[in-house]
Structure 1
Amino acid sequence: MSASGYVDRPGDFIASVPGSLGFLPHRSLILVILRTDSAGLEVRDRAVVARFDLTDTTASISARLRHVIATMDADVVLAIVVDDRLALGTVPTSAPPPPSRILLEHLTRDLMPGPARIRGAWATAHITAGAAFWSLNDPADRGVLPDPALTPAALRRTVLGLPIQQSKAALAETLTGDPACVAAVAALLPDTLTTAQLARSTAHHEEEVSSFDQHGLWMVLTRISDIATTTKSLPPPVVARLGAELSIPAVSQCLPATAVGEHRTAAEALWTQLTRSLTGAARANPAVLLGHSAFLRGDGVLAALAVDIALDADPGNLTARLINAVLHHDLPPHALHRLARYGTAAAADLGIHIDQ
């Protein structure tokens, strides 16, 4: 899509935000960040959608925004304010500007030295079907939102068994598994993990070890492909086997590559299922992959939730600590893009190509 396409059809892209985030934002600032070519067409196949609380400081939002812009080499930013306290339209000129307008003015100034500009800003009380939206720059630019549940982003989530949640808290609940399933997997996992590790430790030569690793990686990738065509939950024996394979470093180091490939949504659905179902240190591996994928698509909320789970399961997990450092701005975001590239190279060493 061209940048003007977003601006010309703001209702459509505002309605697509819940499908991108996974939940209905409430009292939030949404920034849609994209990179365009010389013709104004979007270079990547979808924009990064980042959400912030309206109570976040301008400095913290600006820091995160500049990181994303630098990582993407982005040049266009679009802003959406979601606030149930807002009234339709603009405030009288004699009244003080609302905090959201002040926030956007500060962000606009902060971006001035760089290549990116805020090309449009809109507001709505709720992102729901029939809700009014209006431009914060042009009083004539207003309309009503289509049904967010019918947008392509939402429909993709529905097909994969990832419906839009009503709130951020409800999203966190989606990472909590069914107790009966969790118990069944926990009973199977120790023996399954021992089998996977024993096969490699008793191999007679390096090529045999690589063969086990290749088979394990291929099994995980096959499950990602399968999950795109079904909404059924995986049975406990399959979850245990996947958990065991993800615990093998030669396998798990390849999988960050799935966060930027054509099957990234399906991969994220699998990581979510495994995070819900696994326990102990094995839970850290899918949680890390979920956090990595969520961060790269601009969902810092889900990334933080997943990383907290990973660090709770395995405080020494280096990848979880890396993502956590990026989330707290201690490291630049491009460190996480490198993980995807390293994953592609590691998979190639096993003779498997992961599409980018």
Structure 2
Amino acid sequence: MKLVLKFVNGVFITVIFLWTGVLMLYIFASIDLLSFKQADNVKKVGHSHKVDVSPASDEMRVESDKAEVTDTARYNKLLLHLVHNKPSVKWPVNAGYPLPGALLPYNRIVAFYGNLYSTRMGILGALPEAELLKQLAEEADKWRQADTCMPVIPALHYIAVTAQRNPGKDRKYRLHMPATEIDKVLLLAEKAHAIVFLDIQPGWSSLQEELPLLEKYLARPDVHLGIDPEYSMKNGQVPCTAIGTFDAEDINYAISWLAALVQQYNLPPKMLVVHRFTQGMVTNYSNIRIKPEVQFVMNMDGFGGVAKKLDTYRSWISGEPVQFTGFKLFYKNDVETGGHLMQPAEVLALFPKPVYIQYQ
């Protein structure tokens, strides 16, 4: 009898042990499967800031994968397109793939520059509204036809902080545009189906002081930033009596500030345009640090004859690469001093092709 009881107890213990083992294997397998699915979702999100592990159909996931692959392939193709399919040691710049929502190099920006208070600072303040909108649309269409590989986005590049010869009450030699004027530009851009750049000419002020004052506008997904070293008077001189300067440290501050803004408000990448036509306007360019939240454009800002403009572009824009390039065209100054306003085909012959075109 004792032998029978021992046998039964042994069988019972064995069965319990086996069932426990099976149960543990099932739990571990479930955990592995869940981890695999979560990892798979992370890969599908790609560059997104947030990881989406919510249920989705296989069809939706396949489409997401295709979009990610197509984006990357198109990015590579367009970078080669900008260098005429002849990459060099300097170009294209390898800055990594952009975050979702990036406008460059997927589009070319064609911008009208100026200030609504002045007819002399640029085309933006020189024409009545209806005429301005018509001319901007016509210019954008010229660039679409000249380079069918890149869609064109119109833009209004508005000087929101203007350098002044008058020191003002705080002796900073700059003037802030009132909110009512900035709102007019935003409304005008809406009518033009355009994006907006707000430009800072700091005078004796600094980017650290000026950028926070524009935060409520730059927190919008359709508003980007321009900064102008020509009017950053670190030498203590009065604006317009000498050419100012930004160091890489100043530009890196703007990049970091914009990157933090993108993260805080969950925005698509911001574009930062820096104007330049001399070497001294931007010092230590090789120390400029690009962040994935910001797309950088060094904009050739000089006027004059074609040969002079090309030489400036080759020397200080193409010759000192950062990420993307821009090119400014002056309706009056280029014609008066050089006799000729460059047309899209001429500008597109540059190496690399500019992705940002500005008319003043």
What TM bracket, shorter-length normalisation? under 0.3
Structure (1 or 2) with the greater helix fraction:
1
What TM-score results when the alignment is normalised by the length of structure 2? 0.24
What TM-score results when the alignment is normalised by the length of structure 1? 0.25
Structure (1 or 2) with the greater strand fraction:
2
